[in-house]
Structure 1
Amino acid sequence: METDRNILTDERWSAIIHNDASYDGAFYYAVKTTGIFCRPSCKSRVPNKENVLVFDTADAALERHFRPCKRCRPNGLRLPDEEWIAQITEYIDRHYHESLTLSVLAEMCHGSPYHLQRTFKKIRGISPIAYIQKIRLSKAEHLLKHTDMTVMEIALTVGIPNTAHFATLFKKRTGSSPTEYRKTAKMGQGGSI
């Protein structure tokens, strides 16, 4: 239940959008879409106001299953690298079809692009961009096997707007063009080509 102390007032919203450190410790704010909570002074991108929840304490935010921001470390809390990378991986898995760059991911997860690149590669064994490509091409394989979408539609659906680039990446991963892959998959399923 939301109490008066947990309402996003104009004063609190102003503290958030102006990164006002004088409010640190007075309240914490969480962003529903990212699952992260911050101090008012956090330098991360300003969230959409309708996605913000306010908490009196860091513990209250943790109880609601929000994770502490890696950038501002509310109340001195730190995320282990494995948990941070798991959070980023989950985000990529849900948003692979969007325009994802290292800068976009770093901003979303409240870290620097350099630290994200280095830590992701240490934990996952590949770079974030290589992981995004892997997910996109895996989804493309599924769509080629199980739909009648055109190669261009599939490329757009998985987040690669350039069809020629998509075909090149796909062939590098599978050894065949998207069209050849589809024909082989359909023959393997007993379908006609």
Structure 2
Amino acid sequence: MENFSSGVMWQAVVAGDEHYDGRFYYGVTTTKIYCRPSCHSKLPKRENAVYFLSAVEAEKAGYRPCKRCRPEVNGVYSPEEELIEAACRIISLEFDREGLAETLPGRLGSSAFHFQRLFKKAKGETPAEYLRRVRITQATVLLAESMLDNTRIAFAVGFRSLSGFYAAFRRQMACSPRAYRQLCRETEEGME
């Protein structure tokens, strides 16, 4: 295990430097909580910070793990990443629910603004755009594999208007649902 000076460790804590995560931990004497250097919790006073080379060492000294940065979890812990993964799981399972994009942040214990910002940073698109993409992907499956008409497919995948479905489908697939279904049939016939 590396040996850092207390000055180096303090600067890593002040900077929230994730490169030091797992290389040392810091505890706060007033709360008896220990954290990763990258933790976003309130910065303690320097005189209240103590340093440990392992989570086990911190716990033996009577400190308990921070609930925000989860220093007892091996490897990199990213609550933001967990939040986005949970959101994507919910979207993939409940894509057909009305108002899903609006209720998702609250269900995950986040503010709408914070959730929107995190999601866009992680996925490169808003939760509503991601949901729309999942719905269109599901629609392509139904168009290719079922005999449902476009109206039933639009409502089955969560669209509440036919015009919204057609516009989103064209934007994502560069053709109409009817043209997509026709292309699927021609491809299937060509394989026989």
Q: TM-score, normalised by structure 2?
A: 0.58
Which amino acid in the other structure matches residue 89 of structure 2?
A: E
Letter in 2 for 1:162: S
Give the corresponding residue for 2:185: 186
Question: Is residue 95–residue 158 contact of structure 2 (8 Å, CA) maintained in 1?
Answer: yes
Q: Which residue of 2 aligns with 1:77?
A: 67
CA distance 1:162–1:103, change in 2 (3 Å): closer
CA contact (8 A) 2:138 2:157 kept: yes
Please tell me whether Structure 1 or Structure 2 has the larger radius of gyration of its CA atoms. Answer: 2
Task: Indicate conservation of the 8 Å contact 2:101/2:131, yes or no.
Answer: no
Return the alpha-carbon distance in structure 2 between the equivalents of residues 150 and 101 of structure 1: 24
Once residues 77 and 185 of structure 1 are traced to their aligned partners in structure 2, the CA distance between those partners, rounded to angstroms, is 50
The answer to whether the aligner puts 1:120 opposite 2:115 as a matched pair is: no
Gaps of 5+ in 2: 1-64, 69-77
Q: Which runs of 5+ in 1 are unaligned?
A: 1-74
Matches within 5 A, 1:1-193: 77-78=67-68, 80-190=79-189
2:102, 2:187 → 1: CA distance?
41
Match of 2:49 in 1: none
Residues of 1 paired with 2:155 and 2:100: CA distance? 16
Using the size of structure 1 for normalisation, the TM-score is: 0.57
- Say which is worse superposed, 172-181 or 111-120, in terms of deviation: 172-181
Are the aligned partners of 1:137 and 1:170 in contact in 2 as well (CA < 8 Å)? yes
Aligned with 2:109: secondary structure? Answer: coil
CA-CA distance at 1:103 after TM superposition? 3.2
